[in-house]
Structure 1
Amino acid sequence: MKIKNIHKLKRIKDLQQLEILKELKNFLILWSSQSLSQFGSSMTSFSLIVWAFEKQDSVLSISMLMICSLLPSILLSFLAGTFIDKWNKKLIMIISDTIAAICSVFVLILLFNNRLEISYLYIINVILGIMNAFQSPASSVAVTMIVPKRHYIKISGLQSLSSSMVTTFTPLVATSIYAFGGTKVILFIDLSTFFVAFIALLFCVKIPDYVAYKKKQKLSTLADCLDGVSYIFNNKSILHLIIFMGFVNLIASIYNCNLTPMILARTDNNKIILGVITSFVGIGGVIGSILFTIKKTSKSKVNTIFNSITFSFLICNTLLGIGGNAYIWSFAVLAGHIAVPFLTGNVEVLMRTKVPIEIQGRVFSARNTIQYATIPIGYILGGILADKCFEPIMASNSYLKQILSMIVGSGKGSGISIIFIIIGITGFAVCCMFRRNKYIKALDD
């Protein structure tokens, strides 16, 4: 009798798993194909950043590359929201991805003709930023439309997992290919992954084509866009969460624009060490994503958000600054990035569940404009602090340099190490302040 019951329970469990796969079929096709394409694009970005640093030897020049990509996306996200809510999400994603692929073709042509200049990359990144203003929120809304609400935690974990996998393998694969075949081969791979994602999206992914939000009174595009902003400012809990994430993005952007230059500077341009450490960033994300996916859902998503990012700021950033070798740097990024999926996953779940689907395009786009506005500031600030402030200080013979050298050592890149310590302590302190915010706490109600 017990054996029969065991077999019966096993059949029920198998049927439940099969039902889940059916419910997530569209998402799984979209997620896997877009993740593959993201891997190709990430390798291209990685190789072009290395190429730019070798040509310019400046953190600020790398920061400007990132700003050229981010600024158009931030500025246009506000306007893109209303079109995303009204237009076919699938078509928006196809057009955006296609134009991004054309940009990769253009870079490839310039490389073959030895005409690639960093000024061209600035222009290309502006175009990519414009496309991302439409593609990113359209993709987010599409996922909400094709995934049942009860699976939001699961798919957030899967998205975080794929992002972390890309981060893990991009530097290893890109560094190997860059050493033997250069950026040209990487661009060919990027274009190949685009075609796979394009075919999957066009023929295999079904996204409902409907507009749930309609108004009897026809409004102007600008007035329609303001719906998203109005929703955010009328919901203090959402607003304060977005403000907090804006601060997180500020610190993260200072971190991102200085990590590669610091490692290259302190290891005599050793790209292998750079690839290994950057891979540990992804490995940490993979571990964190798996834990987030399989872990029992916490009753307090807000507490999980603050616990994870506070730990990440204090451990990852400060150890990157204090540590003087690849072993400590690897541990720092591994430990710090294990916590990141618990931040991003819970924030996304809160946004998907708190914001009505019919205005998610406008709200998510308005959120991007507000939340990501701090990223260009962080990249500029990070570049200036490195090139104009702390690196010159650590290259001088001043008394301040002698004191700071006792903490981070000396030599090229030591000034950037000081920056990591500063943003680690600052991030920890501000997280402790936001933890007491009554509006953000209310999101758990």
Structure 2
Amino acid sequence: MSTTELPVTRIDSKLRKNRDWLKIWTGGTALTLGDQIFATSLTLWVGAVLSDGESWGPTAMSGVLLAQAIPPILISVIAGTFVDRWNKRHVMIVASAISALTCAALLVAVSLAIPTAPLLATVCCAVFLLAAAQQFFNPANISTLYDVVPVNQRTEAVGKLLASTQVILMIGPPLAAPLLFGLGMQGSIVVDLASFALACTLAWRLRVKLSLSESASRGNLATDFLNALRFIRRMKILRLSLGTFFFFSLCASSTTAVSYFYITERLHCSPAAVGAFGTVLGIGAMVGSYGARKKIAQDRSHHAYAAGLVLFGVLSGLYSKMESISIGGVVYFLWGMAYGIIAYSLEAIAATSVPQRLIGRVSSLIAPMQGIAAVIGLLVGSYFAHQGVAGASIGFSALSVDPLRGVYRLVCLITVAAGCYAALRFRDTSLHHAEVEHAGEAEVEGHSIAMDTVGTKDVEWNIRKPFLL
């Protein structure tokens, strides 16, 4: 397929001298910091302020988490397809501006003395809108990164973005607690609003004129969407990774629903100390992703991914047995390392497997998969949290378990099984090479799309066959 290329500003050979990359990195880092402070503060605010000692506390917490999980299911598929057809820079500007306006409206609502039920409903609506805008911003941001960073530097760029995210996970949650209890929820909302304003400004100042695919401007939405599905079907390593990642996302969401109650009631920590556990997790994730980036070859990332799943499961089972904050914190750190290995390995697989022109659409397929897993996990976690807070047990007589601990044991079984399955399917070490090197070009609507993945060869695919997953 021929493409209409707009003039592209010269990209500096060194990543640190690439001004557009620095703007994307700065904006992404600011957004991550704002989101972490806002999310942690919101969890503490709902759990320790609005619903302190109330039996409906887990329900309120799950409602907020579900409001965040639903948009990826309902919106992301359409959003990613449109992002591939629209100007990515404009999408980033509009999405961040809408998010800033939503934070401003939430700030007004929180500052007013309104009853708890309407306030919770307003919070859920705001969280829903923020998550919806994110479904447009994220694929546009990733696609823009691919435009401003040369092919041979993309893995490095993704690794640095991931490393900065892990640093934010380390410093964001501890900042949330003093900010919340010192300035109230309004302080955290202002920080999040400022991060969106900065991201909007930096996107406005991007100097690169992005390339526009001709098919994206004239094709129909159904065709664009099916092309992304066919691409994933033919990329076996990507399909296996995403399939097992569904179960990992389900497990991670279920632990999110019970984490606050497990830390405060089973590890006997104060609500203000919950943020410290976020720091421990962030440090572990940073160490894990950095070690994976330095020690694991790119063509072995799929094996590291499978090992990370098994390690995550084993540590989940060990964490379920903890009784004290000290030993529990150590296991939580190691748990974060496993998460970092999984996150980096999956990013490396995607960076070397997905062509630039399909970034938006492939991302839009991943988001609803994560959203569905998140909803299921949150529902399961919410049920276990309800039972745990009420002091009930789950099971039969001698087989009964503490619900809050039972979640982590269930996560252990699922993720270890997913990791072992992935390891068995990844036994052929040439699998990654074969698929990446031969993912040369795709034929869509009678045209050829050059796929700029690493080490591509001139091989054409006939993807007009009926789609079968």
TM-score by length of 1: 0.85
Q: Secondary structure at the match of 2:297?
A: coil
Q: Secondary structure at the match of 1:307?
A: helix
Matched, 1:276 2:264: no
User: Hey, what does 1:418 align to over in structure 2?
Assistant: 406
Q: Are the structure 2 counterparts of residues 185 and 438 from structure 1 closer, same or farther at C-alpha, using a change threshold of 3 Å?
A: closer
* 2:166 aligns with one of 164, 167, 174: 164
Decide whether the 8 Å contact of 1:213 with 1:358 is kept in 2.
no
Q: Secondary structure at the match of 1:339?
A: helix
- List aligned pairs for 1:19-418, cutoff 5 A: 19-21=13-15, 24-54=18-48, 55-56=50-51, 57=54, 58-115=57-114, 117-203=119-205, 205-214=206-215, 218-266=218-266, 270-295=270-295, 297-315=297-315, 317-388=316-387, 392=390, 394=392, 399-400=397-398, 404=401, 414-418=402-406
Decide whether the 8 Å contact of 2:84 with 2:216 is kept in 1.
no
* 2:422 aligns with one of 434, 438, 442: 434
Measure, in 2, the Cα distance between the counterparts of 1:295 and 1:398.
46
Measure, in 2, the Cα distance between the counterparts of 1:61 and 1:421.
24
* 1:443 aligns with one of 407, 418, 432: 432
TM-score by length of 2: 0.81
Q: Are the structure 2 counterparts of residues 175 and 440 from structure 1 closer, same or farther at C-alpha, using a change threshold of 3 Å?
A: farther
AA at the equivalent of 1:151: Q
Over the aligned positions, Cα root-mean-square deviation in angstroms equals: 2.6
Q: Secondary structure at the match of 1:302?
A: helix
Decide whether the 8 Å contact of 2:312 with 2:415 is kept in 1.
no
Measure, in 2, the Cα distance between the counterparts of 1:346 and 1:440.
17
Which protein has the bigger helix share? 1
Q: Are the structure 2 counterparts of residues 309 and 207 from structure 1 closer, same or farther at C-alpha, using a change threshold of 3 Å?
A: farther
1:395: how far off?
6.1
Measure, in 2, the Cα distance between the counterparts of 1:424 and 1:93.
38
- The one-character-per-residue Cα deviations of 1:342-398 (angstroms, maximum 9, x if unpaired) are 22222222223222212221122123223442111111111112214x555646998
Q: Secondary structure at the match of 1:436?
A: helix
User: Hey, what does 1:8 align to over in structure 2?
Assistant: none
1:251: how far off?
0.9
Measure, in 1, the Cα distance between the counterparts of 2:396 and 2:244.
37
Decide whether the 8 Å contact of 2:15 with 2:153 is kept in 1.
no
Q: Which moved more, 1:157-166 or 1:84-93?
A: 157-166
Decide whether the 8 Å contact of 1:64 with 1:379 is kept in 2.
no
1:42: how far off?
1.8
Measure, in 2, the Cα distance between the counterparts of 1:209 and 1:299.
29
AA at the equivalent of 1:104: C
AA at the equivalent of 1:378: G
Decide whether the 8 Å contact of 1:41 with 1:190 is kept in 2.
yes
Q: Are the structure 2 counterparts of residues 439 and 70 from structure 1 closer, same or farther at C-alpha, using a change threshold of 3 Å?
A: farther
1:196: how far off?
2.6
Q: Which moved more, 1:63-72 or 1:262-271?
A: 262-271
- The one-character-per-residue Cα deviations of 1:263-318 (angstroms, maximum 9, x if unpaired) are 12335661232122221001112222332344362541111111122112211x12
- The one-character-per-residue Cα deviations of 1:95-150 (angstroms, maximum 9, x if unpaired) are 11111111111111012212261111121122122212211111111112211222
Identical counterparts, % of pairs = 18
Decide whether the 8 Å contact of 2:44 with 2:177 is kept in 1.
no
